[in-house]
């Protein structure tokens, strides 16, 4: 008890410090502008080396592209542009003059004054230009509004390295032609849809996956899936659940999503499961700190359940929050075909800010061509490079989500991203959004957010206030990358619409005076943040036998990686790369072991700090949503910058070329998987396991 109060006091201190803008936990791992550490964040993606202008030879400097304060591991505006804090440090400046830092677009059509360089440094918060140039000039006064001709230092954002002529010369060279035998693929593949605005090469257009298609079941004799039914389960209740075939996919109890389960914290239920699929399966209860035997990890906690087989899961719910369950065999097929459902665990003493109503939204995207859904790969996944991005957005397995509310209503949305690969940047244009909880717990301080960045398997809870009458679209707004021309272009997808009527809603119930308990009870987060990691994992990949066009274009493309690949803008090369050519890897740098060969053991009750290093030099660098089964964790730092908005999570998005530190307490004994939740990466090997003894 005393220990708990002590920890609470420390936590409160940390919050106060964060609120006052004091940097807690400085020294939380290497930063991108520090001398490049092999297991640190990428220097060339997150640090600009400034170059001296003629006559200023002694000057030098660097600008860190730092993740801005906020609850997400990546900074992005609501319309999808990367956001950074620019942290500049310069040296070798001649004394006696005023130095000013400026930001410009590469075309020089926008010039922004960042500020005066004071004692060799400057900080500019929330810079969101897709490509930019930083200038340092010598000025007579700090009040100048445009730069003088006395240029001292300059540098360019890493995104300006995308340089179309290179790629076009290469593409025109003819050496990318794909030998005939390579693009025949295997079986009868329908054509994948092409996103608008994309440039494609002929050699790319000829690619097909080298595996047989695994189509969605489509027979007219199959039942159509029913919408999810809300099931309130009491302590000791049994739920009979089956996985079966419906028209156009798979379903739990014939429902898509599967039954929506509502339970109380501290309760326990029994799930009697039967497999009516044509393939083996197992069901995982994502994020729940349950008994290891019921975790549903085939090969680790149970054998896969053969067609016609049964399994009994005993599930206890120690933590309030929004969770989900899904098939854990070939997620790129089974989860994609519809085997997922939500679990809402309530506690009597909820600390969430009040709302008029609640909506549980399971978000997904499906890939549909001219002749219907594009099949999955039979022997191994297609889309093994970037993961499978869909072009049809569904909410609770349906298109065009609709909700009608009265003016002034506050709606609490429980959001789950069930997509195979797509990270969403969600907003309700024109409505106020407050982020109140993450995967497995509430934030101590709810925060206004312009958008919610939600990666596959993550959950977020937002309170949205609809103050004005009208129509408010739930949109995913991102900047996609045209890899051939090296330019960003906006993509906007509408997932649903909320219609707000003129009638006024009654005032919302008063907020509860309860505060969320501190999310970590072990010791001061500050010293934990400084502590070197106990374990490190490198996120990378290995490829073999890719078609020459893919091999070469991707090598050129590696000059720059976006922090998050928001869109499937290499649709053909990605589609045609299968799990037979691409192996995604989690590597322990201490032992060199990879994926399931890693054999970590931790004593129960210890605190483990794990550093995830997303390798910059990988053949294709991209974000990975990393999920740890059976435990919960805090995200401590991104690229060495401490996170200040803390809530319990079980899945964290690791941006390309970045490091993310997480801290978990090993409370739950057993064998637990840790893996990437991009379905195709998981099916292409990106998983490991650890044991809590």
Question: By the criterion CB under 6 A, which residues form the site for ligand C2O?
Answer: 284, 286, 326, 328, 457, 627, 629, 673, 675, 677
Q: Measured from the CB atom, is 183 or 326 closer to ligand C2O?
A: 326
Residues 6+ apart with CB under 8 A from 168: 484
Regarding 676 and contact with Cu ion (CB under 5 A), the answer is yes
Q: Which is nearer to ligand C2O, 44 or 279 (CB)?
A: 279
DSSP 423: P
Q: Which stretch binds Cu ion (CB under 5 A): 17-25, 407-415, 501-509, 679-687?
A: 679-687
Measured from the CB atom, the residue of 553 and 612 that comes closer to ligand C2O is 612
Question: Is the CB of 289 or the CB of 627 nearer to ligand C2O?
Answer: 627
- Min CB(22)–Cu ion separation in Å: 35
**Which partner in Cu ion, ligand C2O, none is near 673 (CB below 5 to 8 A by kind)?**
ligand C2O
Do the strands 624-628 and 607-614 form a parallel or antiparallel pair, or are they unpaired? unpaired
Residue 459 contact, options ligand C2O, Cu ion, none, Cβ 5-8 Å cut-off depending on partner type: none
Q: Which does 330 bind (CB under 5 to 8 A by kind): Cu ion, ligand C2O, none?
A: none
Per-residue burial over 617-639, b = 16 or more CB atoms within 10 Å of its CB, e = otherwise: ebbbbbbbbbbbbbbbbbbbbbb
Question: CB of 264 within 8 A of CB of 346?
Answer: yes
- The answer to whether 384 touches 550, Cβ cutoff 8 Å, is no
**Nearest distance in Å: CB 347, ligand C2O:** 22
Among 615, 591, 609, 585, residue whose Cα is nearest residue 688: 585
The Cα-based distances of 316 to 135, 165, 414, 634, 647 in angstroms read: 57, 58, 21, 22, 21
Nearer to ligand C2O, 325 or 472 (CB): 325
CA dihedral 667, 670, 671, 672 (to 10 degrees): -30
Report d(CA 268, CA 237) in Å as an integer: 8
Q: How far is the CB of 443 from ligand C2O (least distance, A)?
A: 22
Closer residue to ligand C2O in complex, CB, 285/561: 285
Q: How far apart are CA 533 and CA 661, in angstroms?
A: 8
In angstroms, give the least distance from the CB of 299 to ligand C2O.
12
Q: Are 426 and 475 in contact (CB under 8 A)?
A: yes
365 phi and psi angles, rounded to 5 deg: -135, 140
Q: Which helix (H) or strand (E) holds 31?
A: none
Half-sphere exposure of 380 (CA within 13 A, CB side): 18
Which of residues 418 and 646 has its CB atom nearest to ligand C2O in the complex? 418
- Segment contacting Cu ion by CB under 5 A, of 349-357, 455-463, 562-570, 681-689: 681-689
Smallest distance, Å, CB 326 to ligand C2O?
6
Residue 249, strand partner residues? 246
Cβ contacts of 572 within 8 Å, gap of 6 or more: 192, 200, 204, 205, 207
Residue closer to ligand C2O by CB (options 216, 677) is 677
Least separation in angstroms between residue 623's CB and Cu ion is 7
Shortest Cβ distance from residue 584 to Cu ion (Å)?
Answer: 6
613 binds Cu ion per the rule CB under 5 A: no
Nearest distance, CB of residue 284 and ligand C2O, angstroms: 5
Least distance between ligand C2O and beta carbon 646 (Å) = 22
Evaluate whether 238 touches 272 at the Cβ level (below 8 Å): yes
Contact segment (CB under 5 A) with Cu ion among 187-195, 255-263, 618-626, 646-654 equals 618-626
In whole angstroms, the minimum distance from the beta carbon of 684 to Cu ion comes to 9
- Residue 678 touches Cu ion, criterion: CB under 5 A: yes
Instruction: Print burial letters for 496-522: b (CB count within 10 Å at least 16), e (below 16).
Output: bbbebeeeebeeeeeeeeeebbbbbee
**Among ligand C2O, Cu ion, none, partner that 587 touches (CB below 5 to 8 angstroms by kind):** none
State the binding partner of 361 from Cu ion, ligand C2O, none, CB within 5 to 8 A by kind: none
User: Are residues 98 and 138 in contact, defined by beta-carbon separation less than 8 angstroms?
Assistant: yes
Q: Does 681 bind Cu ion (CB under 5 A)?
A: yes
Q: Which of ligand C2O, Cu ion, none is residue 681 near (CB under 5 to 8 Å by kind)?
A: Cu ion
**Distance from C-alpha of 98 to C-alpha of 115, rounded to nearest angstrom:** 11
Decide the pairing of beta strands 321-327 and 283-286. Answer: antiparallel
Measured from the CB of residue 75, what is the shortest distance to Cu ion in angstroms?
A: 20
- Could you write out the DSSP letters of every residue in 249-276? EEEETTBSS--EEEEETT-EEEEEEEE-
Closest separation in Å from C-beta 226 to ligand C2O: 24
676 binds, among Cu ion, ligand C2O, none (CB under 5 to 8 A by kind): Cu ion
What is the side-by-side order of every strand in the sheet holding 238-246? 249-252, 238-246, 268-275, 310-316
| Nearest residue (CB) to Cu ion, 178 versus 562 | 562
Phi, psi at residue 485, to the nearest 5°? -90, -5
Closer to ligand C2O by Cβ: residue 587 or 675: 675
Binding residue for Cu ion (CB under 5 A) from 583, 624, 632, 649? 624
Query: Residue number with the shortest CB distance to ligand C2O?
Result: 286
User: Which is nearer to Cu ion, 49 or 580 (by Cβ)?
Assistant: 580
How many residues bind Cu ion (CB under 5 A)? The answer is 4
284 touches Cu ion (CB under 5 A): no
Which of Cu ion, ligand C2O, none does residue 627 bind to, with CB < 5 to 8 Å depending on kind? ligand C2O
User: Which of the stretches 25-33, 553-561, 595-603, 622-630 binds Cu ion when contact is defined by CB under 5 A?
Assistant: 622-630
Q: Minimum distance between the CB of residue 319 and Cu ion, rounded to whole angstroms?
A: 26
Beta strands in 92-227 (DSSP E): 98-104, 111-116, 121-127, 133-139, 151-156, 213-214
Residue 486 and residue 171 in contact, taking contact as beta carbons nearer than 8 Å: no
Residue 41 or 516: the one with the smaller Cβ distance to Cu ion is 41
Q: Nearer Cβ to ligand C2O, position 296 or 446?
A: 296
Least separation in angstroms between residue 285's CB and ligand C2O is 9
User: Shortest approach of ligand C2O to residue 561 CB, angstroms?
Assistant: 25
For residue 528, which of 385, 402, 443, 646 has the smallest C-alpha distance? 646
Nearer to Cu ion, 627 or 681 (CB): 681
Nearer to ligand C2O by Cβ, of 204 and 680: the residue is 680
Which one of ligand C2O, Cu ion, none interacts with residue 624, CB within 5 to 8 A by kind? Cu ion
Q: Decide: is 283 part of the binding site for Cu ion (CB under 5 A).
A: no
User: Which residue is it, tokens 């072990």?
Assistant: 522
Chain residues in the site for Cu ion (CB under 5 A):
624, 676, 678, 681
């Amino acid at each position: 008890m005393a220990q708990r109060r002590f920890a609470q006091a420390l936590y409160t201190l940390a919050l106060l410090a964060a609120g006052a803008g004091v940097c807690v936990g400085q020294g939380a791992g290497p930063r991108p502008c520090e001398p490049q550490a092999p297991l640190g964040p990428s220097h060339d993606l997150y640090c600009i080396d400034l170059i001296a202008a003629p006559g200023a030879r002694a000057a030098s400097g660097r600008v860190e592209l730092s993740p801005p304060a906020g609850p997400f591991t990546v900074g992005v505006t609501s319309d999808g542009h990367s956001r950074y804090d620019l942290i500049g440090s310069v040296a070798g400046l001649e004394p006696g003059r005023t130095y000013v830092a400026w930001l410009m677009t590469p075309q020089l059509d926008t010039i922004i004054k960042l500020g005066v360089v004071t004692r060799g440094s400057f900080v500019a918060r929330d810079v969101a230009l897709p490509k930019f140039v930083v200038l340092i000039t010598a000025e007579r006064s700090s009040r100048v509004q445009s730069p003088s001709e006395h240029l001292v230092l300059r540098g360019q954002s890493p995104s300006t390295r995308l340089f179309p002529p290179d790629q076009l010369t290469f593409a025109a060279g003819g050496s990318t032609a794909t030998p005939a035998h390579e693009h025949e693929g295997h079986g009868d593949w329908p054509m994948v849809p092409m996103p608008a605005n994309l440039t494609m090469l002929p050699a790319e257009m000829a690619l097909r996956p080298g595996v047989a298609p695994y189509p969605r079941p489509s027979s007219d004799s199959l039942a159509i899936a029913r919408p999810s039914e809300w099931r309130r389960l009491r302590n000791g209740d049994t739920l009979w659940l089956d996985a079966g075939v419906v028209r156009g996919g798979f379903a739990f109890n014939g429902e898509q999503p599967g039954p929506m389960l509502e339970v109380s914290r501290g309760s326990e239920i029994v799930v009697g499961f039967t497999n009516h699929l044509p393939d083996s399966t197992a069901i995982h209860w994502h994020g729940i700190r349950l008994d290891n035997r019921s975790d549903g990890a085939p090969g680790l906690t149970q054998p896969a359940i053969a067609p016609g087989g049964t399994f009994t899961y005993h599930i206890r719910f120690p933590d309030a929050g929004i969770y989900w369950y899904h098939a854990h065999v070939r997620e790129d097929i089974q989860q994609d075909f519809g085997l997922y459902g939500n679990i809402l665990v309530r506690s009597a003493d909820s600390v969430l800010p009040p709302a008029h109503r609640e909506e549980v939204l399971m978000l997904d995207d499906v890939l549909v061509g001219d002749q219907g859904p594009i099949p999955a790969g039979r022997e191994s996944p297609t889309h093994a490079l970037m993961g499978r991005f869909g072009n049809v957005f569904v909410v609770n397995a349906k298109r065009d989500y609709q909700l009608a509310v009265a003016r002034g209503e506050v709606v609490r949305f429980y959001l789950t991203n069930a997509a195979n690969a797509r990270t969403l940047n969600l907003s309700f244009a024109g409505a106020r959004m407050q982020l109140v909880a993450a995967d497995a717990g509430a934030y101590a301080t709810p925060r206004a957010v312009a958008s919610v960045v939600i990666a596959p398997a993550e959950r977020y809870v937002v309170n949205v206030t609809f103050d004005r009458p009208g129509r408010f679209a739930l949109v995913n707004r991102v900047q996609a990358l045209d890899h051939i021309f090296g330019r960003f272009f906006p993509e906007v997808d509408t997932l649903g619409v909320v219609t707000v009527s003129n009638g006024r809603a009654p005032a919302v119930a008063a907020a509860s005076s309860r505060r969320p308990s501190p999310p970590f009870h072990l010791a001061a987060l500050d010293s934990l943040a400084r502590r070197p990691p106990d374990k490190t994992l490198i996120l990378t990949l290995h490829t073999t036998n890719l078609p020459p066009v893919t091999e070469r274009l991707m090598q050129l493309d590696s000059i720059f990686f976006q922090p998050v690949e928001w869109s499937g803008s290499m649709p053909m090369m990605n589609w045609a790369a299968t799990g037979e050519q691409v192996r995604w890897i989690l590597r322990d740098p201490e032992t060199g072991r990879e994926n399931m060969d890693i054999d970590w053991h931790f004593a129960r009750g210890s605190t483990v700090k794990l550093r995830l290093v997303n390798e910059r030099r990988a053949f294709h660098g991209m974000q990975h949503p990393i999920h740890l089964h059976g435990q919960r964790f805090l995200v401590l730092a991104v690229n060495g910058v401490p996170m200040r908005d803390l809530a319990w999570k079980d899945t964290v998005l690791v941006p390309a070329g970045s490091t993310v530190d997480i801290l978990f307490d090993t409370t739950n004994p057993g064998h637990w998987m840790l893996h990437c939740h991009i379905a195709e990466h998981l099916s292409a090997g990106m998983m490991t396991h650890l044991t809590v003894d």
